[in-house]
């Protein structure tokens, strides 16, 4: 009798598991990532890595990279948008995922990027409840904001050794919004309102901080750095918007005998 009962119990258990599995319901999630005070971050900047996980257990439910364009400037950048204004259209970069859940789950989304400018990457996370079958795709989907500027020091190249007696070095940096949007005087992203500076260290000690003005080309900032003594130099170029605190930076090094 016990031998006959054993397969019945196994069958019953398997049946219970099958019912539990079958009850999981596909739930769609659309994630978009906005550059602070700018547009969506998409393919042109390497996208943003998205991880969708259970906030309580850490289980990863989906992952991928945002793709698409920066979105519609007229929708995104005007004074009277209001909290409820729709920000995205079909051109706005996104990451789509479908997760199978059988009960409400507290979900965390993590955004890390832009992947095409690793020196400027930042991370943003947010949590909310997701209910089986209640898709999170309407409107703009789930939107995260990523702060920062993508700052890329173009000159001098890292670890370059300058000739003995060098008394100045050309410093040039490209500065754009995290979405890749350009910066220029009187532009939508105004170079005149941006503080771009270089912190200069020699042999590990800060020796001066100098302004790096707009260089006459879109998103380009440049100056000549004085070199007063031999040593190993580290230069930290940062962009800062005093209106909203947005900040990004890059570094380079050079040596002078």
What percentage of the chain reaches a pLDDT higher than 70?
A: 89
Give this prediction's pTM: 0.86
Confidence of residue 78 (pLDDT cuts 50, 70, 90): confident
CATH of domain 149-256: 2.60.40.10
Distance from C-alpha of 137 to C-alpha of 135, rounded to nearest angstrom: 6
Distance from C-alpha of 85 to C-alpha of 168, rounded to nearest angstrom: 50
Determine phi and psi for 165, rounding to 5 degrees: 90, 0
Class of CATH domain 24-146: mainly beta
Q: Do domains 24-146 and 149-256 have the same CATH topology?
A: yes
**Is 30's pLDDT higher than 70?**
yes
Q: How distant, in Å, are the alpha carbons of 68, 97, 130, 223 from that of 91? A: 6, 18, 26, 37
Distance from C-alpha of 150 to C-alpha of 177, rounded to nearest angstrom: 6
**In Å, how far from its chain's centre is CA 90?**
20
- 3-state SS, residue 12: helix
Q: How many CB atoms lie within 10 A of CB 1?
A: 4
Residues 6 or more apart whose CB falls under 8 angstroms from that of 155 comprise 170, 171, 172
| Residue boundaries of the structural domains of the chain | 24-146, 149-256
* Of residues 27 and 12, more confidently modeled: 27
């Amino acid at each position: 009798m016990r031998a006959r009962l054993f397969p019945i119990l196994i069958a019953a258990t398997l049946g219970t598991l099958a019912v539990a599995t079958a009850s999981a319901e596909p739930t769609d999630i659309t994630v978009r990532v906005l550059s602070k005070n700018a547009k969506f971050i998409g393919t042109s900047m390497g996208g943003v890595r998205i991880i969708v996980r259970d906030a309580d257990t850490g289980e990863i439910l989906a992952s991928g990279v945002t793709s698409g364009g920066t979105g519609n400037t007229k929708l995104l950048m005007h004074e009277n948008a209001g909290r409820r204004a729709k920000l995205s259209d079909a051109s706005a970069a996104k990451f789509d995922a479908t997760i199978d859940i059988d009960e409400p789950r507290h979900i965390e989304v993590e955004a890390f990027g832009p992947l095409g400018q690793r020196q400027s990457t930042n991370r943003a996370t947010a949590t909310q409840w997701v209910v089986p079958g209640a898709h999170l795709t309407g409107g703009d989907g789930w939107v995260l904001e990523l702060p920062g500027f993508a700052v890329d020091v173009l000159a001098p190249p890292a670890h370059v050794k300058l000739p003995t007696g060098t008394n100045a070095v050309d410093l040039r940096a490209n500065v754009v919004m995290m979405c890749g949007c350009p910066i220029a005087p009187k532009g939508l992203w105004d170079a005149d309102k941006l503080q771009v500076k270089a912190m200069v260290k020699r042999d590990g000690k800060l020796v001066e901080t100098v302004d790096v003005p707009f260089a006459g080309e879109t998103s380009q900032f440049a100056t000549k750095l004085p070199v007063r003594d031999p040593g190993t130099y580290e230069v930290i170029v940062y962009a800062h918007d005093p209106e909203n605190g947005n900040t990004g930076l890059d570094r380079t090094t050079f040596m002078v005998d």
